[in-house]
Chains A and B, each alone.
Chain A
Amino acid sequence: MENEQLTVQRALAGDQAAMRALWTRHAPHVDVVVRRLVGHDPDLAADIAQEVWIQIFRALPSFRGDAQFGTWAHRIAVNRTLNALRRTRRMASVEVDVEDDTASVEPEGERALLAASIEEAAAKLSPGARTVFLLHDVEGYTHEEIAAELGITAGGSKSQLFKARAKLRVLLAHLVDAPANTKFQPESSHVAPLY
C-alpha cells in the first residue's frame, strides 16, 4: 500500500494510533500464520501471536521498506513461531519425523479419517511434515529457506514435503479427486499403481 510507509514512520515515532492501524490491517494475516503453524493449541497460538507482534514493533526500526510491510511481518511471524515451537520442544524431533513419517497409508483405513479442510488434514501430519508442508505449499518458502529455518537439508525438506502431500492427497481425496471417468478401461497389461 502506497501510504503504508508513512504509517510505519508514524509508528516508529511512537504513534500508537499508527501501530494500531498496522496491527488492524495485518493481524488477520499474521495471526493466521501463527495459528496454522501452531496447530490445535489456541492458547499457545495466542501467546505466540502476542510475542510476534511485540517483536514486529520491536524490530520496526530495521524495516527498510524494500519489501511490503505485510511480507516483512509475515517473515517475522514464521520465524518467531518456529522459535517458540522449538522452545516448547515441539520441533525437537523434526529430523526424526522426516524419516518416520511414511507415505504408505492404507487407503480404506484413511478414508474413514477424511478431513474437511486442508488445515484439518495438516493437523493429522507429524509436526515436522506439517511444518514443511505449510512453509512450502502454503507460505511459499523454498526448500533452501525451509532448510535454513529448520536446520535440515533441502533434500530432507523435499522428501518430507512429498510424503506430506501423499498423506494429504488421501485425507483430502474427496476434495482433490476429479470425478471418475466411467468410460475408462485400463489395459490388461497395465497394472494399476498402489498409491
Chain B
Amino acid sequence: MKEQPSQSLPANAYLNLDPRTKLFLLLIISTIMISGEIRGMALYARLVLAAIPFVLLILGRRAKAAAIYAILFAAAWLAEAFLIYNTKGIANIVIVMLSGLISRFVPCVIMGYYTISTTRVSEFLAAMERMRFPRNITIPIAVMFRFFPTIAEESHSIDNAMKMRGIGARSFVGNPAVALEYRLVPLLMSVVKIGDELSASALTRGLGGPEKRTNVCKIGFGAWDATFASLAVSAAVFYFVSLGG
C-alpha cells in the first residue's frame, strides 16, 4: 500500500472498471454490509457482496491484499456464526466488537481501497463530469482522495520521527492533549505545504481554466461493468426481499 495509488495504475491489471461502476459498487456494498443483518437468507446476499471486492482485487493483480482480506473476513464470519451465541460477559463483548467490526467494515474499506487505488484522478474527474456533477464538489473530492495516501504517509513519518526521539505512546498516557498537538501540528504543516504545491501544479496544468476540460482517459461501461453491477444489484434485491419475507 506504499505506492502512490491515485497516480499509478498497474498496467497489467486484468480488468479496469469504469469509475462510476466502482462508486456504485461501493455504495451498495457499504449500505448492505454495514447494515449488518445476518438472519436467514440475507446471509448469502452478504457473502456475495463481500466476495465482489475480493474478485476485483484478484483481477486488479492485488493478490496480497486479496489474501489478507479473505483471511480476515473468513475469521470474523466464523466467529459471528459460532462464537457469539455461545459466549457471555466480557468475552462476548470483545468477540462481538471485533468480528462485527471486521465483517461489516472491512469489505467496505477494501472496496474503498480498490476504488481509490485503481482510479486515476483524471478518470474520476472525467466520470464525474459525465454525471454532470458541479466542479465545486468534484474538485475537492478528487483532491481529497489524492490526499488520503499523503496523510497516511506523512503521519507514518511523524510517528517514526517521534519514536526516534523516544516519544512513544507511553508518553501520552497522562496527557492526551499533548498527543493531539504532537501529531496534528506537524501533520497539518506538511500537508498544507504539499497542498500549496499541488495547487500550483494543478493551476499550471490548467485546472482553473474557464474552458471545458478535455480528457484523454477513456471511460465507459463494458461487459464487466454490467456483470458486476447486476451481480451487486441482484444481491441487494435478494437481501431486501429476504428481509421482508
Chain A partners chain B: no
User: Which of B's residues lie within 8 Å of A, judged by CB?
Assistant: none
User: Which of A's residues lie within 8 Å of B, judged by CB?
Assistant: none
